[in-house]
Structures are given as C-alpha cells and as structure tokens.
Chains A and B, each alone.
Chain A
C-alpha cells in the first residue's frame, strides 16, 4: 500500500433496510494517518456507514474499498487489519479485564504469549493496569470505554473505527478518552470516528463530513467548515418571555450577516460579535442575556440543516 492510496474509498455508497434508506449515496476518501470524522445527529447514517466500513454490513449499492480490498468478498482479511470500538460496549462480563484483551487477540490469530504481552502494554496505555485481574462489571463507563479502545488496538490495526467514542461519559471521562485518542493520532494511527458532539469533532478530527438524512452535506477541516458556513463570532441573545422570538428576528434585520432563531435564544452571526451587540442595543432592543463566542461546528451544522446537533 502506498501513501497515495486512500484507506477507505466510497463512491455512491448506499445502505437500505427495506424501504428505509439509511445511507443515500455518499462519496468519501480517508487517507493514511488522518483522523476523519462523521458528524451528524442520531439517525444521520453515521453508524450504518461505520458498519459497512467494518465489514459487518454489506453495502446495498455503490462502491466501497477498504485497505484496497472489497468488503463483500474479503471481509475477514479486512477485519484482520481493523480496530473497532462500537457505540455500545460489548466487553465480556464473564472475563477479567486482561482476558478480555487476550481472548480477543486470539481471534486475530495472535499467539498466546504475544497476546499477553500486548494486553499488558495496552492496559498500561489506557491506564487500567491496576484493574487487570478484576472483573469488567464494576468498571466505570469511562474505564469500560478505554478498555474497549484497548481491545480495538490489540491487533495493531491500520485503521481504527470509533463509533461515538465518548457518548454517555461524564466530562472528565471524556477528556481522558480524548487524550488517549489524541496520543494514538500522534503516533500516526488512522482514526475514523462518528460523533454528535461538535467539541469532540473539533478536538480530534483533521477532516470531517457533516451527515444529515443519509447524505453528506459538507466536508472539510473543522476550521474550514466554520470559515465557510459560519462567521468568526456569534452573539447569543436571550430576551424576556414577553414576546415571541420571531418578532425580534425582524427587528434584528441588517445586523451581522444573518441570524438563527432557536427555541430559547437567537444566534446572531457576525465577524465582530461585540459590534453586533452594540448595534442591537442601539435599536433599543434589550436582550436579558448576551453571550459573544467564537463560532463552532454546531453553528455549521445548524446552518446546513436548520437543526441542532444535540437536542436541548
């Protein structure tokens, strides 16, 4: 494999379940060493795409090549070089922390002694060495997720697939997972992850696609996407409950580039947030709360789909 060949190549990729089209003709290339993300709300088709890449779901239509191979015919050979961290933990509660890694390594034909060596090394990497001989069940959600990540690395994969790696974790546990994933990325491991957290995508992804309704609606680096689809800054305005927010939208016309009305607040997009707020106040509209912040991928998503990523 040369550096110029993509590890994943999809053209017009489709996944149907009966009449329901989960993935509706997507094109993508993932290159070696890249951290590539699928960003989108639940039901956008991210997990279906990941399952096709993981060779556990045959594509309904279109082309898909993984590591230069055809997932329809070479599933086992491809899976031998993938690491998969599923959305739902499926660690084995009947085994110890260490045995979860050792038995999994055996599925890849790794010799027992080597499997033990790798298990020890990976437990060190995910900071679970002290738990090695304990059961899986009492581990916290964050520890289980780190163990699942360790399990995904046991075959020294060329490509690591992470389906919502930090969903359901508390902030501290999320940061620990991010930090480990960042270390992997620094080592040059190719990561493909799905997330509906914009901060996760911004932290980890070199490049990402925004998915909605089974289609890719935008593609680029987090920074490029923000530059293209949002302004530099955003002013979040909240008004008292006396008048519907829509009525304010008209009164704000002309300030900044555009505004989005959310159920509880108005987002005013402008390159200079403070100047925009000053203009709002000059019109004698007095918001009860004002927050000026930098634009994020959440704003990109909102602009592209008209919906929030995470329902509030």
Chain B
C-alpha cells in the first residue's frame, strides 16, 4: 500500500528545494511587483485619475491586474529554466523516473508546486494592496485562487516548451517576446478598448487577459467583459491542453 500519492512526493521534493532557495525568489516574485504597483499605480495613477476616464481609481484598476500578472510571471519562470535544468543540468527527472512516479505524476507534482508559489506571492501582494484602499470587497479572497489557475494555464504549456528546448537562449527569447508583450497587451495597465481593434483578439487568445478580468472582478467588483464561467472555462482549456502537451513531451524525453 502506498502511503502517499507519487505526485504528492514530487510536490514535496520541490517544497524541500524551495526551503533552500526561497530568499532568492523574494525579489522577483514579491518586491518587484510591489514596486510596480507603487511606482505606476500611485505615481502614474495620479495623472490618470485627473482624467477620470476609469470607473475606479487607477490603483484599483492596476492592482488586480498586476496581481494576475505576478502569478503568470512566477509561473513562467518556474516552468522555464527549472524544467530545462531537470533534463539537462540536474537530471532530476531521470532520477525520479527510475522510481515509481509516472511522467504525469512528475508534471502534476511540479505544477502543484508552481501553483503554491503563485498563491503565496499573490496573497502577499493582496495584503500589501490592502492599506492603499485597492481591495473593496470580500470577494477579493478569490483573487489568489484565480491567479493560481492562471499560473497553471501558462505553466503547463511552458513546461511542454521547456522540455524540448536545448539552449537556454530559447527560453530567454520566449520571456522577451511572449511575457513582455503579454503583459502590455492583456489589459493590465490600461483597458483593452485602448488597443487597436486588430490587436484585441490577441488579448482574447492569451490567458492573461482573462485572469486580469477575473481578478479585477474579485478585488474591486468591476464587471468582467465575458461571463465569469466563460473566462474560467477558457483558462481551464489552457490548463488541460498544456498539461497533456507537457506529459507527452516529458514522456518522449524520459521514456525512450
């Protein structure tokens, strides 16, 4: 009889490594987003609010968006280099594959860890935003779970991609040409209506915009563009297809 699920053992493994490296992650996953919030939300926000074009103060607009983005950023980072390294540098995956966990347990365990990392960072971010009057309703507690789901939606396909790259420059390119545009064009800093009509479908396709809409709804009560269920369903499609792709690519690499 197995006392624990093998995916849980993989999750535990990542927690153990996190215990040793967490200090190094505080800046990128917590300090940086808070600086963004303070710098752009408060400083730029003052000018934006003078125009009065937004239904809520700019801090309230950008805060939930940054929360969703923070989750996505952590997820992409954690699903990038660590995954490539698990094949190329530490060879962690090969070690685990020799033990009972199956490939899908490995992918699931690591995704759980990435989800947890995101949840912790977004809860902290929510707490920081509180004194600035960003949080206007109790539904805000749903923002971290939404961010977690967003994290899985981008981490799973990223794991699939990182499992096939041979050079870390490919990952750097992806961060530069996917993460940054996604951040700029997903309604984090300005409403999507500001985008030229031609560009808007890009935002609809990417998972982040849906997360931003949902987080904004949860934290400040702004009605999302689509029904909540539809936003959620679209994100779930990303999670599931990403997971299947990651399992397939891990399988091809580990079981030959």
Interface string of A48-64 (1 = CB under 8 A from B): 00010010111000000
Q: Which residues of A contact B90 (CB under 8 A)?
A: 90, 92-94
> By the criterion CB–CB under 8 Å, are B95 and A90 in contact?
yes
* A111 nearest in chain B by CB position: B3
Q: How many angstroms between the C-alpha atoms of A17 and B252 in the bound complex?
A: 13
Please judge, given known A-B contacts A17-B256, A76-B100, A92-B17, whether A106 and B91 are in contact too, CB under 8 Å: no
Instruction: Confirm or deny: B123 has a beta carbon within 8 angstroms of a beta carbon on chain A.
Output: no
Q: Which residues of A contact B199 (CB under 8 A)?
A: none
Residues of A within 8 A of B (CB): 17, 51, 54, 56-58, 75-77, 79-80, 82, 84, 86, 88, 90-95, 99, 103-104, 106-111, 151, 155
Q: Which residues of B contact A151 (CB under 8 A)?
A: 95
Q: Which residues of B contact A108 (CB under 8 A)?
A: 99-100
Pick the interface stretch among B7-15, B53-61, B187-195.
Answer: B7-15
Please judge, given known A-B contacts A90-B92, A107-B9, A109-B4, whether A95 and B100 are in contact too, CB under 8 Å: no
> By the criterion CB–CB under 8 Å, are A109 and B98 in contact?
no
Instruction: Confirm or deny: B254 has a beta carbon within 8 angstroms of a beta carbon on chain A.
Output: yes
In this complex, the interface size class of chain B, counting residues with CB under 8 Å from chain A, is 20 to 34
B110 to A: closest C-beta gap in Å: 13
Instruction: Confirm or deny: B6 has a beta carbon within 8 angstroms of a beta carbon on chain A.
Output: yes
Q: Which listed residue, B9, B17, B98, touches A106 by the CB 8 Å rule?
A: B9
Q: Which residues of A contact B99 (CB under 8 A)?
A: 79-80, 84, 104, 107-108, 155
> By the criterion CB–CB under 8 Å, are A109 and B255 in contact?
no
Q: How many angstroms between the C-alpha atoms of A84 and B1 in the bound complex?
A: 21
Instruction: Confirm or deny: B50 has a beta carbon within 8 angstroms of a beta carbon on chain A.
Output: no
A-B pairs, top 6 by smallest CB distance, nearest first, are A90-B91, A107-B99, A109-B2, A106-B9, A84-B98, A90-B95
Central interface residue in A58, A90, A155, by most chain B CB within 10 Å: A90
A64 to B: closest C-beta gap in Å: 15
Q: Which residues of B contact A57 (CB under 8 A)?
A: 255-256
Q: Which residues of B contact A58 (CB under 8 A)?
A: 255
> By the criterion CB–CB under 8 Å, are A107 and B16 in contact?
no
Central interface residue in A57, A58, A106, A151, by most chain B CB within 10 Å: A106
Q: Which residues of B contact A93 (CB under 8 A)?
A: 90
Q: How many angstroms between the C-alpha atoms of A94 and B101 in the bound complex?
A: 20
Q: How many angstroms between the C-alpha atoms of A111 and B13 in the bound complex?
A: 14
Q: Which residues of B contact A109 (CB under 8 A)?
A: 1-4, 6, 9, 100
Q: How many angstroms between the C-alpha atoms of A111 and B1 in the bound complex?
A: 12
> By the criterion CB–CB under 8 Å, are B17 and A95 in contact?
yes
Instruction: Confirm or deny: B130 has a beta carbon within 8 angstroms of a beta carbon on chain A.
Output: no
Instruction: Confirm or deny: B249 has a beta carbon within 8 angstroms of a beta carbon on chain A.
Output: no
Q: Which residues of B contact A104 (CB under 8 A)?
A: 95, 99
Please judge, given known A-B contacts A17-B256, A106-B13, whether A79 and B3 are in contact too, CB under 8 Å: no
Q: Which listed residue, A51, A56, A95, A106, touches B4 by the CB 8 Å rule?
A: A106
Q: How many angstroms between the C-alpha atoms of A223 and B97 in the bound complex?
A: 36
> By the criterion CB–CB under 8 Å, are B17 and A56 in contact?
no
Instruction: Confirm or deny: B167 has a beta carbon within 8 angstroms of a beta carbon on chain A.
Output: no
Q: Which residues of B contact A155 (CB under 8 A)?
A: 99
Q: Which residues of A contact B13 (CB under 8 A)?
A: 103, 106-107
* B5 nearest in chain A by CB position: A109
Q: How many angstroms between the C-alpha atoms of A76 and B3 in the bound complex?
A: 15
> By the criterion CB–CB under 8 Å, are B94 and A90 in contact?
yes
> By the criterion CB–CB under 8 Å, are B100 and A79 in contact?
yes
Q: Which residues of B contact A17 (CB under 8 A)?
A: 256
> By the criterion CB–CB under 8 Å, are B98 and A79 in contact?
yes
In the complex, 22 of the A-B residue pairs with CB atoms within 8 angstroms, ordered by the A residue number, are A17-B256, A56-B255, A57-B256, A75-B102, A79-B100, A80-B99, A80-B100, A88-B91, A90-B90, A90-B91, A92-B17, A93-B90, A94-B17, A94-B21, A95-B16, A99-B16, A104-B99, A106-B4, A107-B100, A109-B1, A109-B100, A111-B3
